[in-house]
């Protein structure tokens, strides 16, 4: 369906990633946010706090991230599209509730504007060191979807995508920004509402007596109901059966947890978004995401000027990881070069997917700034030998 | 003629004793028979004294007992 | 009287008035013999009947623990959330759909220990929630550890030589934080509890009803206080109804007096009233009041 025009700030703007993310959420139909201040993410909800009373919705600043991350889920079950925004330390606090959203299949968006870590780290400086946490941070086996914008324009566009994926798969989506993308100011074009596709809530049309809150008919995603509609359903974080009732046996656990995983994994090819450039005939492919992809572009171009055949693969979806793509490429290229603002995270996935068919070179950076393109160039050259 | 009658859902009872203790008319006692879990559910020893107040029902933590008022034919004159 | 299996004693068409509120397919429940949680559910059900609450617009949110299991046994839109976080979840539910009547039904450990921060902030904000706190003075589900409400000298699994920490006086805490309705009863006071819950339904704002309840398996047993019935007899004997008592004076001890009653009943604008008022004043015409957030 088309976006609600009341939430769409159509026009050409000059705004930073945090602000663009807020506008993306509003355009996607988000009318509820619960947040807690944390640099460098706070502006997203500050803008939302200012915008939403003129659009029709609610923002509440909660007393901590533990509260914010579950308050938004209460709002979802009350009928809203909802999100929260945080950075490393807050992301860590939210982990339990990310798991709750996965288990209860609550569609929502968690924005992490990554900063230097671990712990308090570098509040105002960039890193990309929460990437594995986005997938593995909560306990138990589970899948989530994670997107990485690399510009304020993408902060707008991909936030809408994040909400759409959340609704389609009934899963919390991690929106992995970084401090540079969040704080850089660029041109952002917001189209008219009728040009924006928004995925509606997967709401059931079944009569009360036929509705099973966690029942699926072949399609792996159950239909949802909201509180107050007469369905009198039960939602729990305990292992549950199709009625939503706690049923703590290995059989039910197997069925439930595998479905939660396969509803994402089976659609991985469809979910995977990436940007490719000059992959054909490349010897080396540079795999990057977020702000690092823009720095890497400089290195890639310099390498090509030296006559090297370098391809670019920019990850837009980081999770589920596009294994298939990497595996295909690994058969045809000499090496992957993976620059990241961390000491080696997504590179592990690249290496795993490459399965030894191609070499993998990490270009690590502890965070606090962006790479020097020459450092990436050096590794590209080495990888090409 | 009793004003109320007690119903017992035997399999739910865990023999906590609340209903026996707090029935204001002392209508109930734990029986020597038992349910499939081995608990001795209450039985009605003084049915004629039951007023249908349903305090037993209000106290029962297991929703295993309740009392209802008996419908009398005709009204009071 | 033979030692044999008994059939149900059922009157022809007699129905337990509470049954309509239960997920009968899940009863018998997991609570121990003599546990008082089920008794509180009876009072809750009766309050629903008396207040003629529209069940469709009632949502019940619980946390983790024995009392947290209430959500799974009631035939309502019910949410069994994470430990300590029933109140913020309920806040989100209420803010997204103000037409909902939102009840938080959870235990003393869940609400005042891990959930303590959310308890005081929701009371401060005066979020329109009805909180029923079943206080069995212990962490029961996990095997009988000390709770912030466990009385001095009690034996628990994490204070095997006796609790020496001062314990919370919950009515005092929530009154200080801003609650508009504060009452305490015990599971002996079935009718009064039902009445308090009904009164809370009539009130807008943060209502808190504490119910002292027996945990026979852990609290009672470890402290040689008998079983559930012994606890109920203690409540009957040692409770004193003192409506309007200063909450600073209603602290609990292991075997001492239990002050019960309605302690606080005051009026303060609730969170949503304040929010609407602020926006209307600051934004005037530009304020778009959120009607429903239901996204189709």
Closest to B58 (Cβ–Cβ): which among C37, C190, C228?
A: C190
The count of other CB atoms within 10 Å of the CB of residue A363 is 25
* Residues sharing a CB contact under 8 Å with residue A228, sequence separation 6 or more, in sequence order: A78, A79, C56, C57, C59, C77, C97, C99, C100
Q: What distance in Å separates the CA atoms of residue C103 and residue C62, rounded to the nearest whole number?
A: 8
Helix (H) or strand (E) holding A295: helix A291-305
What is the ipTM, given to two decimal places?
Answer: 0.96
Region A339-351 average pLDDT? 98
Using CA atoms, how far residue C98 sits from A54, A266, A320, C106, in Å, is: 18, 38, 37, 21
Region C158-187 average pLDDT? 98
CATH number at residue C208: 3.40.50.970
Question: Does C38 sit within 8 Å of B63, measured CB to CB?
Answer: yes
Q: What distance in Å separates the CA atoms of residue A283 and residue A335, rounded to the nearest whole number?
A: 7
Residue B60 within any structural domain of the chain:
yes
Answer for the pair B49, B26: CB distance below 8 angstroms, yes or no. Answer: yes
What pLDDT score was predicted for residue C154? 98
pLDDT cut 70: percent of chain A above it: 100
The count of other CB atoms within 10 Å of the CB of residue A114 is 33
Does residue C276 belong to the interface with chain A, where contact is any CB pair within 8 Å? no
Residue C272 within any structural domain of the chain:
no
Lowest-confidence pick of A58-72, A358-372, C5-19: C5-19
Residue B57 within any structural domain of the chain:
yes
* Residues sharing a CB contact under 8 Å with residue B48, sequence separation 6 or more, in sequence order: B1, B2
* Residues sharing a CB contact under 8 Å with residue A101, sequence separation 6 or more, in sequence order: A73, A108, A171, A172
CA-nearest residue of chain B to C216? B16
What pLDDT score was predicted for residue C1? 42
Q: Which of C89, C98, C121 to mutate: most A Cβ within 10 Å?
A: C89
Provide the domain count of chain B: 1
Structural tokens at position A349 = 């996935």
**Tell me: the pLDDT tens digits for C70-109?**
999 999 999 999 999 999 999 999 999 999 999 999 999 9
Q: Which of C8, C46, C214 to mutate: most B Cβ within 10 Å?
A: C8
What pLDDT score was predicted for residue A38? 98
**Tell me: the pLDDT tens digits for A156-197?**
999 999 999 999 999 999 999 999 999 999 999 999 999 999
Answer for the pair C147, C137: CB distance below 8 angstroms, yes or no. Answer: yes
Residue B9 within any structural domain of the chain:
yes
CATH number at residue B50: 3.30.70.20
Question: Does C79 sit within 8 Å of A79, measured CB to CB?
Answer: no
In the predicted structure, residue B77 carries a pLDDT above the cut 70: no
Region C169-188 average pLDDT? 98
Q: Where are the beta strands (DSSP E) in A70-152?
A: 82-86, 108-116, 122-126, 145-147
Question: Does C72 sit within 8 Å of A246, measured CB to CB?
Answer: yes
SS3 of residue A293 by DSSP: helix
In the predicted structure, residue C212 carries a pLDDT above the cut 60: yes
Per DSSP, A78 falls in state T
pLDDT cut 70: percent of chain C above it: 95
Closest to A60 (Cβ–Cβ): which among C23, C95, C290?
A: C95
What pLDDT score was predicted for residue A292? 98
Q: Do chains A and B touch, with touching meaning 3 or more CB–CB pairs less than 8 Å apart?
A: no
Residue B33 within any structural domain of the chain:
yes
Categorize the per-residue pLDDT at C295 as very low, low, confident or very high, splitting at 50, 70 and 90.
Answer: low
C contact residues 25-44, partner A, Cβ 8 Å cutoff:
26
Gyration radius of chain A over CA positions: 21
Q: Which positions in chain C touch A75 (Cβ < 8 Å)?
A: 92-93, 95-96, 293
Answer for the pair C60, C79: CB distance below 8 angstroms, yes or no. Answer: yes
Residue B37 within any structural domain of the chain:
yes
Give the structural domain span for B21: 4-69
Residue C96 within any structural domain of the chain:
yes
What pLDDT score was predicted for residue C6? 66
List, in order of start, the domains of chain A with CATH numbers.
5-195 (3.40.50.970), 275-384 (3.40.50.920)
Helix (H) or strand (E) holding A288: strand A284-288
Question: Does A76 sit within 8 Å of C56, measured CB to CB?
Answer: no
SS3 of residue A179 by DSSP: helix
Residue B51 within any structural domain of the chain:
yes
CA distance C165 to chain B (A): 31
What pLDDT score was predicted for residue C182? 98
In the predicted structure, residue A152 carries a pLDDT above the cut 60: yes
Give the structural domain span for C80: 19-267
Does residue C190 belong to the interface with chain A, where contact is any CB pair within 8 Å? no
CB pairs under 8 A between B and C: 122
In the predicted structure, residue A123 carries a pLDDT above the cut 70: yes
Average of per-residue pLDDT values in chain A: 97
**Tell me: the pLDDT tens digits for A303-336?**
999 999 999 999 999 999 999 999 999 999 999 9
Question: Does C72 sit within 8 Å of A234, measured CB to CB?
Answer: yes
CA distance A248 to chain C (A): 13
CB pairs under 8 A between A and C: 169
The count of other CB atoms within 10 Å of the CB of residue A94 is 27
Does residue C122 belong to the interface with chain B, where contact is any CB pair within 8 Å? no
Closest to C81 (Cβ–Cβ): which among A62, A70, A233?
A: A70
Provide the domain count of chain C: 1
């Amino acid at each position: 369906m088309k976006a609600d025009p009341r939430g769409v700030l159509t026009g050409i703007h000059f705004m930073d990633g945090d602000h663009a993310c807020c506008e993306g959420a509003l355009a996607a139909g988000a009318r509820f946010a619960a947040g807690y201040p944390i640099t460098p993410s706070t502006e997203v909800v500050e803008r939302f706090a200012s915008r939403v009373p003129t659009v029709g919705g609610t923002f509440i600043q909660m007393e901590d991230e533990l509260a914010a991350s579950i308050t938004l889920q209460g709002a979802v079950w009350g009928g809203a599209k909802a999100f929260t925004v945080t950075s490393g330390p807050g992301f860590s606090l939210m982990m339990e509730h990310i798991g709750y959203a996965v288990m209860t299949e609550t569609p929502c968006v968690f924005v992490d504007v990554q900063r230097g870590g671990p712990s308090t780290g570098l509040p105002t400086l960039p890193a990309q060191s929460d990437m594995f946490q986005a997938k593995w941070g909560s306990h138990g086996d589970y899948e989530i979807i994670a997107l990485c914008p690399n510009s304020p324009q993408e902060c707008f566009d991909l936030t809408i995508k994040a909400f759409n994926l959340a609704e389609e798969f009934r899963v919390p989506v991690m929106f992995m920004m970084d401090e540079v993308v969040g704080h850089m100011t660029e041109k952002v074009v917001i189209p008219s509402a009728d040009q924006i596709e928004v995925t509606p809530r997967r709401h059931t049309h079944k009569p009360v007596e036929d509705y099973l809150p966690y029942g699926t008919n072949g399609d792996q995603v159950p239909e949802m109901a909201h509180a107050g509609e007469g369905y009198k359903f039960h939602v729990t974080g305990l292992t549950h059966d199709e009625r939503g009732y706690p049923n703590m046996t290995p059989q039910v656990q197997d069925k439930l947890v595998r479905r939660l995983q396969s509803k994402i994994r089976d659609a991985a090819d469809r979910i995977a978004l990436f940007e490719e450039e000059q992959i054909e005939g490349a010897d080396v492919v540079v795999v990057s995401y977020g702000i690092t992809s823009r720095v890497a572009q400089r290195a890639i171009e310099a390498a090509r000027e030296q006559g090297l055949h370098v391809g670019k693969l920019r990850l837009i979806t980081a999770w589920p990881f596009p294994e298939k793509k990497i595996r295909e490429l690994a058969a045809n290229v000499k090496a992957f070069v993976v620059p990241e603002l961390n000491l080696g995270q997504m590179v592990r996935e690249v290496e795993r997917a490459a399965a030894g068919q191609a070499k993998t070179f990490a270009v690590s950076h502890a965070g606090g700034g962006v790479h020097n393109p020459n450092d990436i160039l050096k590794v590209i050259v080495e990888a090409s030998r | 003629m009793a004003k109320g009658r007690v119903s017992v859902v035997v399999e739910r009872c865990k023999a906590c004793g609340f209903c026996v203790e707090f029935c204001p008319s002392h209508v109930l006692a734990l029986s020597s028979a038992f349910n499939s879990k081995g608990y001795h559910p209450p039985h009605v020893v003084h049915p004629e004294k039951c007023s249908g107040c349903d305090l037993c029902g209000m106290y029962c933590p297991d929703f295993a007992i309740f009392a209802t008022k008996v419908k009398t034919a005709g009204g009071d004159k | 009287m033979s030692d044999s299996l008994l059939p149900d004693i059922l009157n022809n068409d007699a129905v337990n008035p509470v049954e309509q509120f239960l997920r009968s397919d899940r009863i018998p429940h997991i609570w121990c013999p003599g546990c008082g949680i089920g008794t509180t559910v009876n009072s809750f059900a009766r309050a629903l009947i008396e207040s003629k609450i529209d069940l469709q617009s009632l949502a019940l949110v619980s946390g983790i623990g024995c009392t947290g299991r209430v959500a799974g046994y009631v035939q309502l839109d019910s949410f069994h959330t994470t430990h300590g976080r029933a109140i913020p979840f309920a806040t989100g539910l209420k803010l997204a759909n103000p037409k909902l009547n939102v009840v938080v039904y959870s235990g003393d450990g869940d609400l005042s220990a891990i959930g303590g921060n959310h308890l005081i902030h929701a009371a401060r904000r005066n979020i329109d929630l009805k909180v029923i706190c079943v206080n069995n003075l212990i962490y029961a589900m996990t095997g009988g550890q000390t709770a912030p409400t466990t009385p001095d000298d009690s034996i628990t699994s994490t204070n095997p030589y006796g609790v020496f920490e001062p314990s919370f006086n919950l009515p005092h805490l929530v009154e200080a934080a801003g609650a508009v309705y504060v009452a305490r009863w015990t599971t002996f006071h079935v009718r009064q509890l039902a009445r308090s819950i009904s009164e809370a339904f009539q009130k807008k704002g943060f209502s808190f009803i504490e119910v002292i309840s027996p945990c026979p398996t852990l609290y009672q047993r470890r402290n040689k206080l008998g079983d559930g019935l012994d606890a109920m007899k203690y409540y009957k004997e040692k409770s004193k109804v003192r409506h309007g008592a200063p909450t600073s004076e209603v602290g609990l001890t292991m075997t001492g007096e239990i002050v019960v009653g309605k302690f606080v009943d005051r009026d303060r604008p609730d969170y949503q009233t304040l929010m609407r008022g602020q926006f209307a004043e600051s934004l005037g015409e530009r304020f778009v009041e959120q009607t429903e957030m239901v996204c189709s």
